[in-house]
Amino acid sequence: MNENKLRPAIELIAGVQSCPEPGLALLTMGKRDVSHDLDLPQPIWRANVGDLLTSVIPDHWVITQLNDQHAYLKYNALSPNNEHPEMGQVVGFGISHPCTTFDKWRWMPIVDDDYQVIEAIGLHF
């Protein structure tokens, strides 16, 4: 990540649960998990389970909708296959309004730069 750019104060991670049709992936994050009052979550990185490094998100990936349990990720189905989301991948998201995410959780893991959990904090919002 470019150190000169703003970085999200909080990241949420969701899994690609289903790719029901070309151009659409359903992720394991919804309104019960993340704020959605200002903007929808923005994908900022992706990784396959077991990867030690994250990969860049293609520019055409965008969350277009949330329901209670899922995020709808739209992508260009005509893009190269290596730019398509795959079931089982994990995707990291930046959010525009952390405060209204805090009220959805009782605790939150704190991770280091390698995403290793180093602490857990209770949330009382």
- Look up residue 82 and give its two tokens: 């290596």
What pLDDT is attached to residue 100?
A: 78
What pLDDT is attached to residue 104?
A: 84
- Look up residue 22 and give its two tokens: 């070309």
Could you read off the pLDDT of 74-115 as tens digits, one per residue? Answer: 999 999 999 999 999 999 999 887 877 888 888 989 999 888
Domains of the chain: 11-99 (2.40.37.20)
> Does position 1 have pLDDT exceeding 60, yes or no?
no
When computed from its CA atoms, the radius of gyration of the chain, rounded to whole angstroms, is 14
Residue type, 104: K
Residue type, 49: V
The total number of residues shown for the chain amounts to 125
In this structure, are residues 33 and 41 in contact, taking their beta carbons and an 8 Å threshold? no
